């Protein structure tokens, strides 16, 4: 058994009301999350440099090759344990997260120790922005309408990093991110079509501009 077996529909707290349908459902890729969210690759390089520096300093100090290896072994063990823990956390977070996009809202189900669900009506979304990675996965950040309050620490890691003032929910490390972003942009634009038509195409931007927002348009950073 697990904490989500009571769900009437996977990733949702209850069955969808009549007239509402699921457009897309997915979850983060745990290996991408380990690299992008928990920074295992960066830490791996950092630990490697520390171990090499320690090993080299021992040799320069006159230690034998064997003693230098023994001296560096505890650092290697610490690095391995740290990387294993972070990879496990990425796996658990990814496995416990489900993103469900309907034609009316986005539902985020996440949480390892304390499972949570967050409903984001599409009519409260001002814009979306895509940051695509080389493997086709990516992060999709949503900018809520002014006055919409959300807790950064409640949403983490499903929040755009370092945006504490105006918290922006984020779909993290989703596969085929550009396709998902285009669907989301189309739904947001359709939701606001009764007032002012909005563009829905996925537009490329310069890499140095990062994640760029346009009104109900998905901007892609290469």
Residues 80 and 106 occupy one common structural domain: no
**What pTM was estimated for this model as a whole?**
0.79
Does a structural domain hold residue 73?
A: yes
Structure tokens at 129: 């922005």
Does a structural domain hold residue 207?
A: yes
Angle at 48 between CA 37 and CA 90, to 5 degrees: 20
Q: Left, alpha or beta for 62 (phi > 0: left; psi -120 to 50: alpha)? A: left
Backbone angles phi, psi at 154, to 5 degrees: -70, -40
Q: Point out the domain boundary residue: 94, 127, 142.
A: 94
Does a structural domain hold residue 14?
A: no
Q: How far apart (Å, rounded) are the C-alpha atoms in residues 110 and 89?
A: 13
Average pLDDT over residues 43-59: 89
Residues 53 and 141 occupy one common structural domain: no
Residues 112 and 204 occupy one common structural domain: yes
Q: How far apart (Å, rounded) are the C-alpha atoms in residues 88 and 75?
A: 20
Residues 132 and 84 occupy one common structural domain: no
Residues 131 and 84 occupy one common structural domain: no
Are 160 and 141 a contacting pair, CB within 8 Å? Answer: yes
Residues 210 and 107 occupy one common structural domain: yes
Residues 112 and 142 occupy one common structural domain: yes
Does a structural domain hold residue 166?
A: yes
Q: How far apart (Å, rounded) are the C-alpha atoms in residues 209 and 203?
A: 13
Provide the residue range defining the domain that includes 186: 22-28+98-221
- pLDDT at position 211: 37
Residues 134 and 189 occupy one common structural domain: yes
Residues 196 and 88 occupy one common structural domain: no
Which CATH number fits the domain that encloses residue 199?
A: 2.30.29
DSSP line for 60-110: HTT--HHHHHHHHHHHHHHHHHHHHHHHHHHHHHHHT-EEEEESSEEEEEE
Higher pLDDT, 1 or 63: 63
Tally the domains of the chain.
2
Does a structural domain hold residue 167?
A: yes
- pLDDT tens digits along 74-107: 888 889 999 999 999 999 999 999 999 999 999 9
Q: How far apart (Å, rounded) are the C-alpha atoms in residues 95 and 181?
A: 21
Residues 74 and 104 occupy one common structural domain: no
- pLDDT tens digits along 193-202: 544 444 333 3
Residues 76 and 103 occupy one common structural domain: no
Q: Point out the domain boundary residue: 49, 64, 94.
A: 94
- 173 pLDDT more than 80: yes
Residues 123 and 197 occupy one common structural domain: yes
Q: Point out the domain boundary residue: 94, 110, 141.
A: 94
């Amino acid at each position: 058994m697990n904490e989500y077996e009571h769900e009437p529909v996977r990733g949702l707290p209850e069955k969808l009301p009549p007239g509402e349908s699921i457009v897309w459902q997915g979850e983060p890729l745990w290996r991408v999350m380990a690299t992008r969210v928990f920074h295992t690759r960066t830490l791996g390089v950092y630990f490697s440099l520390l171990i090499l520096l320690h090993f080299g300093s021992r040799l320069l100090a006159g230690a034998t090759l064997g003693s230098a290896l023994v001296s560096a072994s505890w650092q290697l063990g610490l690095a391995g344990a740290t990387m294993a823990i972070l990879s496990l956390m990425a796996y658990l977070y990814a496995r416990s997260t489900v993103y469900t996009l309907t034609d009316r809202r986005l539902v985020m189900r996440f949480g390892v120790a304390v499972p949570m669900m967050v409903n984001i009506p599409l009519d409260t979304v001002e814009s979306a922005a895509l940051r695509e990675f080389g493997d086709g996965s990516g992060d999709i950040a949503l900018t809520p309408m002014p006055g919409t309050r959300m807790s950064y620490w409640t949403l983490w890691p499903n929040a755009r990093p370092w945006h504490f003032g105006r918290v922006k929910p984020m779909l993290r490390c989703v596969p085929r991110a550009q396709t998902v972003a285009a669907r989301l942009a189309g739904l947001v634009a359709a939701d606001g079509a009764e007032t002012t038509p909005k563009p829905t195409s996925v537009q490329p931007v310069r890499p140095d501009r990062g994640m760029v927002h346009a009104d109900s348009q998905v901007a892609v950073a290469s």
